[in-house]
C-alpha cells in the first residue's frame, strides 16, 4: 500500500531548500534597501534660496512678538513637499517641521515661526532643509539646506 515512500523525501528536501533560499533572499533585499535609504542623497538640484527684496534677505526676527519671519523661493527643477527649520540659539535649539510648505516650481513660501528669545537665547544659526518626494518616499535634502547666521530685526 505505501510502496512509493522513497519519492517523498527528495520532494520535501527540495521544498525546504527552496524555502530557505527565499528566506535568505528576503533578508538580503531588506538589508540592501535599508543601506540605500541611509546613503540616499538628493539627486536633483532644488535651487531653494532665501527671498530677497531690495537686496535684503527676507529672514528676520520680531523681538516684540517673539516670531521669526521667513520667506524662501523654490527653484525650477522640482516641487518641495515640506521644509524642516532648525534654529540654534545660545541657550537651546529648536526644530520645526513645516508640512504645509509644499512649494511649487519657482514658487515662494512665507511663514512666521514662534521663537522664545528669553528661553532659547539669541539666534546663532537658522537652517532651512527642503523635503522632496522624487518617487514614492520623502527625501530630506540636508546637503542643500539654506543657512543664515546673522538674523536681523524686523
Extract the C-alpha cell encoding 58: 527676507
Domain count, the chain: 2
Under a CB-based contact definition with an 8 Å cutoff, are residues 93 and 126 in contact? no
**Shared domain check, 99 and 77:** yes
**Shared domain check, 148 and 92:** yes
- Check: pTM over 0.85? Answer yes or no: no
**Shared domain check, 77 and 18:** no
Residue showing cell 532644488: 46
- Residue 44 counted as domain residue: no
Output the tens digit of pLDDT for each of the chain's 154 residues.
455 566 677 888 888 899 999 999 888 887 776 665 555 567 788 999 999 998 888 999 999 999 999 999 999 999 999 999 999 999 999 999 998 889 999 999 999 999 999 899 999 999 999 999 887 888 888 898 999 998 889 8
**Shared domain check, 106 and 53:** yes
Domain range holding 146?
A: 49-153
- Comparing CA positions, the residue from 131, 128, 130, 132 lying closest to residue 146 is 128
Q: In this structure, what CATH number is given to the domain that contains residue 89? A: 2.60.40
- Residue 43 counted as domain residue: no
* Eight-state DSSP code of residue 5: G
Dist. CA 85–CA 83, nearest whole Å: 6
* DSSP code per residue over 28-40: HHHHHHHHHHHT-
Amino acid at each position: 500500500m505505501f510502496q512509493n515512500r522513497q519519492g517523498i523525501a527528495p520532494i520535501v528536501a527540495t521544498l525546504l531548500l527552496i524555502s530557505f533560499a527565499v528566506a535568505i533572499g528576503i533578508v538580503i533585499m531588506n538589508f540592501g534597501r535599508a543601506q540605500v535609504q541611509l546613503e540616499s542623497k538628493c539627486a536633483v538640484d532644488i535651487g531653494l534660496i532665501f527671498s530677497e527684496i531690495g537686496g535684503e534677505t527676507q529672514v528676520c526676527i520680531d523681538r516684540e512678538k517673539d516670531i521669526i519671519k521667513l520667506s524662501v523661493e523654490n527653484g525650477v527643477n522640482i516641487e518641495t513637499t515640506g521644509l524642516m527649520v532648525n534654529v540654534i540659539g545660545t541657550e537651546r535649539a529648536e526644530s520645526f517641521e513645516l508640512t504645509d510648505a509644499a512649494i511649487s516650481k519657482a514658487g515662494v513660501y512665507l511663514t512666521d515661526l514662534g521663537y522664545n528669545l528669553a528661553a532659547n537665547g539669541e539666534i546663532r544659526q537658522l537652517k532651512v532643509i527642503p523635503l522632496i518626494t522624487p518617487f514614492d518616499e520623502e527625501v530630506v535634502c540636508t546637503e542643500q539646506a539654506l543657512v543664515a547666521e546673522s538674523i536681523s530685526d524686523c
